[in-house]
Structures are given as structure tokens and as C-alpha cells.
Structure 1
Amino acid sequence: MNQKDLLRPAADAALGAPLQDFNTADAVEYLNTLELSRAADTLAALPLPRAVKMLEQPELTRSGDLVAALPVAKAAALLGLMADDRATDIVHELDEDERARLIPLLSAESRQAIQQLLSYPAHTAGALMTTEFVSVPADWTVGRTLQHIREVERTRETVYAIYVLDPRTQALQQVVTMRRLITGLPDEPILDVAQVNPPVTVDALLDQEEVAQLIRRHDLLAIPVVDARQQVLGIVTVDDILDALIEESTEDVHKFGGMEALEKPYMQIGFFEMLRKRAGWLSVLFLGEMLTASAMQHYEDELARAVVLTLFIPLIMSSGGNSGSQATSLLIRSLALRELRLRDWWKVALREVPTGITLGAILGVLAVIRIVSWQLLGLHDYGEHWKLLALTIGAALVGIVTFGSLSGSMLPFILKRLGFDPASASAPFVATLVDVTGLVIYFSIAAAILSGTLL
């Protein structure tokens, strides 16, 4: 043994020392603060069970980068000991060369499970499920099932429920919760303590949001994923679905702000990658706002004759954009929660039109009060036709807020119908659309009311 080998245990102990008194959550937070190479060295110095437990935490950022930075044998050992679904998440983050190096080093069982999970599309039940669950034949007893759980518990991600299979076809027959199992008599048939209702199952290609709805509706801790023959492929646990929905909600929040979703925490995004994420949508919105300038140029003569109209352009445009953003936010959330379907668009339209008219009337009254007050108190002189001006602003607000509410509520339906994410109908996008059309509405109403006076 050379001097380097003798010094290795001491070096590993020094690297792992800061984590000795930390629980797993705190250790993960500490690891996230370290520079990548230092974090990889620290992870490699930990005992395998502790390192596996930390890698399995969704709060650990750069999991794929950390595994890629480890020695190949160490990385393969960790992946082989991890829950299959979490190991698959990490493999997803690796590039093709890294996958080619690591996957052949895994056991046949782990390799098969990971490759199966990799084959399912993202954001589906199949991509989320774990293949590590407890199942027993329907002809077993309670006692035999409990003994089996004692033997395999450490190799299973969860024992929330036990899945009872047909001994001949392996099709799912029933589900037994752990609570009912431990209250049953040892010699009692397993089916006698199974739940009364038929098991709730999902297809592997079902969207993760619909899986979450089923888990919530039936108050489940896990839901089995089955194939066409009702054979169990895996299970989706409530903690996995929560992690997935939090990630999806984060993506939606980024899209609401008019940018591409970030795959990494803010401080880990490079300068040029951040520019790429933000510049695209910002450029699209800028080009959209150019139409606003074109609309104002079209009404250049009207503005020259009635300069007072320009005072209220920011008020008009922001009110329409705000009402559209409100409607968009409400509808995107309702579509995400499956409270609405595409066929419900006309119901939403019938609801938003009177809502928009009422909201516009409220803002219009406030604007009229403001103009009248400023004129009578001598704070500003709007000219001899100030009453008509107040009427114009009030009527324009009714029209623009109504249009904003209607267009903001319809955009998510249109995008979803075209196959896009409704979250792409972000507040900036809606505001840009309403800015352009709002000017047209504003000057059209102004031309109708002020014709022969100011115009």
C-alpha cells in the first residue's frame, strides 16, 4: 500500500466531517453551497448509504453534474443503490457519453428498470413511477405477507400499500393498506383485509396532473400504474407527484413572466444561458409593442388636434392589460386543475363579457370622477369640451376592459387547442395584445364622441 492509499481514509474523513452532525436535509443544503468539484469530492467521501440518501433528495441541485463528476465505479454504485425513479431522474440529466459509461456498470435489474423508465415521455405517470413496490399473490395469508414485507422492505421505496395479484395472470386484483394488514389475523386470507372498492389505477401515459387529481380525489398515498392486462408496472407515490407538480408550477411561473422556464436555480444559470432564456420572448414582446407605435402613428392627426387625449393613453392601456392578465391567470389555473375543459370556452366567454363590462364601468366612473374633480377644483383645465372628454374616457374604459377580459380568457383556450402550454399566454403577452387593440378602441370611441368638437 502506497502513501496515497494510507492518506485516503483521513482525507475522506476530513471531507465528510462537516456533515457528521447534519441531518439529511441540512447536509443537502450544505452540499448545494459548495463548488461542484468540492461537492463531488465530499459526496464521494461519504459512506454509500449516506451518499445515496442525499442523492435521492429532490432538493439536491446539480445531481446529474455531481454524479458525472464522481469516479465511474462510485457513480455506478450509487445509482445501483438508489430508488429506480430517482436514479432515472439523474440519468436523464446526463449526456449520452456519460450514460454510455455508467449504465453498462449497473446490475441487470437496475439497468432494465432505468431503461424502462427512460422510455416513457416526460410528465407522465410512467416517467414518475417507481418499480420498487410490494406485491403478493392473492392466495397468501396476512402472516405470510407480513413476513415477506420484513424481508424486502429495505429494497422497496415504500410500503404504503401492498398490491394483491392474481397468482395465474399477475393482474392486479386488490390493494391492501398497511393499516388493514397489521390489524388482520395471521391466518386470515390477504383478500379478506383488502379494501372494498376496486383499485384505482392509471395508464403509464397519463399526464402527471391527472395523476395528481386522482391521488387527491381518492386520498391515496400511492397509485398503481398498470398496462392493458392490468399488470402492475410500478407505482406513483404522493411525494413524487408533489415534487413533479412543484417543478411544473415553477416552470409556469417563469412563463407567466414572459420567459423560458429555468431548469436550474437562478444563481446556477450562466450569463449567456440567462440571455437565451429571456431574450427570445422579450424580443417577441418588443416586436408586438411596435404595433402599438404603428397604431399611434395611424392616429397621429387626431393626437395633433386633441393633445389632451394623450394624457390618458397610459391609463387606458394599463387598465386593459391588467384586466386581461387577471382573466388569463384565472383561466390558466382552472385549466391546470381540470376545473374547465376546452368545450367550456363559450361558457367562459358568456361569463367574462358581463364581468368585463361591469369592471370597465367601475373604472370608467372612477376616471370620470377624476376628470370632473380636477376640472372643477382648478387642478387642470381640460378645455371647453371636458364633459365630452370625460364621457370618452369612461366609454373607452368599458370597451377596453371588456375586450381585455374576453381576450385574456380566450387565449389559454386557443393555445391549448393548438397544442401549446396555456401558461405561454403570459401576462406580458396579453398586455401587449391589449395595448395594440386598446388604442384602436380608444381612438375609435374618441372619433365617435368628439367628432365635430375636438376632432
Structure 2
Amino acid sequence: MQHVRTSLRIRLDSPHGGSVEGWLHDVTDPRERAEELARLDTDRAARLSALLGPHGTARLADSVDRHTAAGLLGQLGIAGGIEVLKVMRPDRAAGILREMPVPLVVELLARMGRGSSAALRSVLSWPADNAGAHMTPEFVSLPVDTPAGEAIDQVRSSAASGAATTYLFVTGEDRTLRGVVPFRALVLSPSERPVGDQMVTDVISVSSREDREEAARLLNDHGLAALPVVDEGRIIGVIPADSVADIAEEEATEDAERQGGSAPLEVPYLHASPWTLWKKRILWLLVLFVASAYTGTVLNHFEAELEAVIALAFFIPLLIGTGGNTGTQITTTLVRAIAIGEVGLRDIGHVVRKEVSTGALVALTMAAVAMVRAWALGVGPQVALVVVLTIAAIVLWAALVSAILPLVLQRLGVDPAVVSSPFIATLVDGTGLIIYFEIAKLVLW
């Protein structure tokens, strides 16, 4: 790493500039590249941009995380930032702008002018989680009666401006999406034949207000090169296929952070300050702390039973730990299945049957192990029976709750990833204790 930093510094400070393009090829790891860019001061960032030119700087910004790219553009000043933004694809540029301070974004868009910034403004008008925020408004749309030869000429001129040309979208009045024509089919068609005669009318599209994860799923499942984005039937943009990886990575990161009991970070981990991490974690920790308090309430309520049979206390950690672990395994698997579209609320019956059946097998296994543990501790047959029955009941209860809760939350419009490992563990802990002592009351008294 040190020789890379030194090499970049020499190239930027050299009166001849050196081979910065060579440096870009040498540093192939985006994380290393991001670290180098984050260390550049304003003068060196400006020199780097001058050596690469607007297109080279745009490619560099596109090769690192958006937070680092935003820092680089911010160092270039208004004029330099505008030059780079103008040659970037609108969806990429909008993603970077979302990482920049709002006053700076407003000034950049204002200085670009209404015409040049129209595409960026269109993308930025949608919330980051919506499909509309990941589209490029630059695509080729044609009336149904456009001859193929004229359509090809329009594709040539549109391609020069960076518009998506893999598919040509056929529109009716008010840009209503009527069909799609692959460019290859257009080239092979007689020049006078209208595009409406060769279009495919069964078009897979996504609403601009749909979750970005659904857009990525459609692109991936159907193997599309681009997905049209519609608003009330009118096509307003397309999502290119290369956006799938970015969306999938962001969604997977958010789900992982939520399942760990933390709010998602808006910046890469290494750029997050202790204060930022505190803000993201403390709310969930406080919620879980309050929720855990009822475990103490349950223990206090059954204090007499504990005093009468001290041996019951020996198994509390074992029982609540087993329930929490069972629930965590199920929610982790199920939340991921929901995320990739494998299951939905319509499948709740099948999911419950599958998980309860699996839970029954797990319960029998764990009950047998618990019997051995109780025998080893010499607590007596009655307490051993309580432990065996309880561990079976808790496993089945955890399986049932964990199978239902994520699907219900998804139906209510809540991200099922919030059913995090700590949340499930806390829920099963308290309810598991109630099950334990109620069974103890039935068996022992």
C-alpha cells in the first residue's frame, strides 16, 4: 500500500503528470483506490481530475463507493464537479449527489442549468429506495408508426449522447408504453416497416414507486438488459442491468445490519465515526433493553416457585438460549427468502407447516439432550420432565413465531429484516420463561 501511495503522490506532483491512467490500472482494488482518493487534498484532487479529464474522472468516481466519489467531486469545486456530472449516467450521478451536502447539491444543479440538470432532477425526485431513484431518464422512445430506417437514425444520435439503446420503447400518446423492440430486430427489419409492426407488447416493467429490490429481482429473473420504469402507464426511464449488483449489495447490507439490531449506515463502515455508530445502534439497544425488562418481571412473578424448587433456576439460561437460537435460525433463512422473492404472505401456510415440522424434529432432539443434561445434574425425575417438556414447547413456539412474524411484517409494509436476531431472542426469552414456569406449576404442584 505504501508504494502505491508514494507512486500516486509522485505522479500528481510531477510537472509532467506521470501515468495516472497506469496508476488506475495498478490499483485494481476499489477499496485501495478509495483510500488513496480520500487522502488527496484539494490541489491534488484537482490535478488528478485535470490529468484524467471529465470522462476519466467520471469513470474513477464510478469505480469507488459513492461516499468517496462524493468527496472527490466536492474537492473539484462547482465548475469541476459540473463537468464530471454532465458526462456521468444520471442514475450514477444522482447516487453520488445523495451523499453530498444538500446546499452543495442545490448549487451544483442550479449552476448546471435547467436543461443540463433535468435528468438528474428527475432521478433525485424519487426516494432512494424507489425504483425511480435508480433509473436513467435517457432512453429511446418511438411512436408506433416510426419507420425502422428512421428509428435507426434516431438510435445513432441518441447513442452519441449516452442514452440506453439496447431496447427501443414504442409509445402511444402521452408517452404511454405500448411495446418494446430489440435493436437487433430493428436492424434486420426493412427500413420502411413501422416499429409498431415488430414490437413485443408483453412488456415487463416496474412502477417508479416500487421498491428497488423488486426492480432488481425483475431484471435478474427475466435476464433483461434494461427494465422500463413507468409512472401511471407512462415510461419515464429505464434501469440498466448493471444496476442489479449495486441494488442487491445495498439491500443485503441493510438487511444484515438490521438483523444485527442496528439501523443501516448511510456511509461505508470505515468512514463512519463513533458518533454515527452510536446513533445507529443506541435506539435498538434501548428498545431491546426495555423489552428485556419483562424477563425480570416474569422471574419476579414466579419467585415463589423458584424458591420452592431451586433446581428450576439451573435450566433458565439453557432454555431461553435454545429458544432464541431456534428463532434466529428461522428468521435469518426466511428474511433472505422474502428478500429474493421466494416466499410471500400467500405461502404462510406452507412456511408454517414446514417450520413447525422441522421444529418438531428439532424439539425431539433437543429434549433428548436436555434429559441427559438433567440426569447428569441429578435434579430428580419431576424437574427433568419439566425441562424436557419445556424445551420441546419453546422450540415449537419459537418456530411458529419466527415463521409468521416476518411474513406479516412484509404484508404490513415493514421491512421483515427488523425481526432481528436480538429482537427474536428477546421475544422468545420472556415468553419461554412463562412457558417454563406454567409447565412447572402443572407438573410439580
TM-score over 0.5 for the pair:
yes
Letter paired with 2:177? L
**1:5 alignment counterpart:** none
Q: How far apart are 1:330 and its partner, in Å?
A: 3.1
**1:284 alignment counterpart:** 287
Task: Name the CA distance, whole Å, in 2 between partners of 1:248 and 1:170.
Answer: 31
8 A Cα contact 2:33 2:64, kept in partner:
no
Deviates further, 279-288 or 32-41: 32-41
Structure 1 pair 427–31 and aligned structure 2 pair: CA distance change class (3 A): same
Q: How far apart are 1:98 and its partner, in Å?
A: 0.6
Give the counterpart of 1:179 among 184, 187, 207. Answer: 184
Give the counterpart of 2:231 among 222, 227, 233. Answer: 227
8 A Cα contact 1:357 1:399, kept in partner:
no
Structure 1 pair 345–280 and aligned structure 2 pair: CA distance change class (3 A): same
Structure 1 pair 122–62 and aligned structure 2 pair: CA distance change class (3 A): same
8 A Cα contact 2:180 2:200, kept in partner:
no
Task: Name the CA distance, whole Å, in 2 between partners of 1:216 and 1:193.
Answer: 28
Task: Name the CA distance, whole Å, in 1 between partners of 2:41 and 2:195.
Answer: 49
8 A Cα contact 1:125 1:204, kept in partner:
yes
Letter paired with 1:444? E
Task: Name the CA distance, whole Å, in 2 between partners of 1:142 and 1:58.
Answer: 40
Task: Name the CA distance, whole Å, in 1 between partners of 2:12 and 2:363.
Answer: 72
Structure 1 pair 396–15 and aligned structure 2 pair: CA distance change class (3 A): farther
Structure 1 pair 16–329 and aligned structure 2 pair: CA distance change class (3 A): farther
Task: Name the CA distance, whole Å, in 2 between partners of 1:10 and 1:440.
Answer: 68
Please identify runs of 4+ aligned residues in structure 1 that moved more than 6 A: 12-16
Q: How far apart are 1:75 and its partner, in Å?
A: 0.7
Task: Name the CA distance, whole Å, in 2 between partners of 1:69 and 1:152.
Answer: 32
Cα offsets for 1:91-143 (capped at 9, x unmatched) = 22222211232112214333111112222222222111101223344444444
Aligned CA RMSD, in angstroms, stands at: 2.9
Structure 1 pair 345–162 and aligned structure 2 pair: CA distance change class (3 A): same
Letter paired with 1:155? S
Task: Name the CA distance, whole Å, in 2 between partners of 1:400 and 1:160.
Answer: 55
Stretches of structure 1 that go unaligned for 5 or more consecutive residues are: 1-8, 375-379
Stretches of structure 2 that go unaligned for 5 or more consecutive residues are: 1-10
8 A Cα contact 1:321 1:431, kept in partner:
yes
The secondary structure found in structure 1 opposite 2:261 is coil
Cα offsets for 1:65-100 (capped at 9, x unmatched) = 222222211011111221111121122222221123
The secondary structure found in structure 2 opposite 1:130 is coil
Q: How far apart are 1:288 and its partner, in Å?
A: 2.3
Structure 1 pair 160–432 and aligned structure 2 pair: CA distance change class (3 A): same
Larger Rg computed on CA atoms: 1
Structure 1 pair 313–44 and aligned structure 2 pair: CA distance change class (3 A): same
Structure 1 pair 14–59 and aligned structure 2 pair: CA distance change class (3 A): farther
Structure 1 pair 187–264 and aligned structure 2 pair: CA distance change class (3 A): same
Deviates further, 255-264 or 103-112: 103-112
Structure 1 pair 191–35 and aligned structure 2 pair: CA distance change class (3 A): closer
**1:402 alignment counterpart:** 396
Task: Name the CA distance, whole Å, in 1 between partners of 2:401 and 2:15.
Answer: 62
8 A Cα contact 1:303 1:310, kept in partner:
yes
Task: Name the CA distance, whole Å, in 2 between partners of 1:31 and 1:354.
Answer: 50
Q: How far apart are 1:222 and its partner, in Å?
A: 0.7
- Aligned pairs, how many? 431
Kindly report which structure 2 residues correspond to 1:433-448, keeping only aligned pairs within 5 A, or say none: 433-448=427-442
Task: Name the CA distance, whole Å, in 2 between partners of 1:158 and 1:13.
Answer: 39
Letter paired with 1:23? H
Give the counterpart of 1:44 among 41, 44, 49. Answer: 49
Residue identity over aligned pairs, in percent, reads 32
Task: Name the CA distance, whole Å, in 2 between partners of 1:417 and 1:91.
Answer: 32
Task: Name the CA distance, whole Å, in 2 between partners of 1:425 and 1:252.
Answer: 10
8 A Cα contact 1:317 1:434, kept in partner:
yes
8 A Cα contact 1:332 1:423, kept in partner:
yes
Structure 1 pair 38–175 and aligned structure 2 pair: CA distance change class (3 A): same
**1:421 alignment counterpart:** 415
Task: Name the CA distance, whole Å, in 2 between partners of 1:13 and 1:29.
Answer: 28
1:389 aligns with 2:394: no
Structure 1 pair 110–29 and aligned structure 2 pair: CA distance change class (3 A): farther
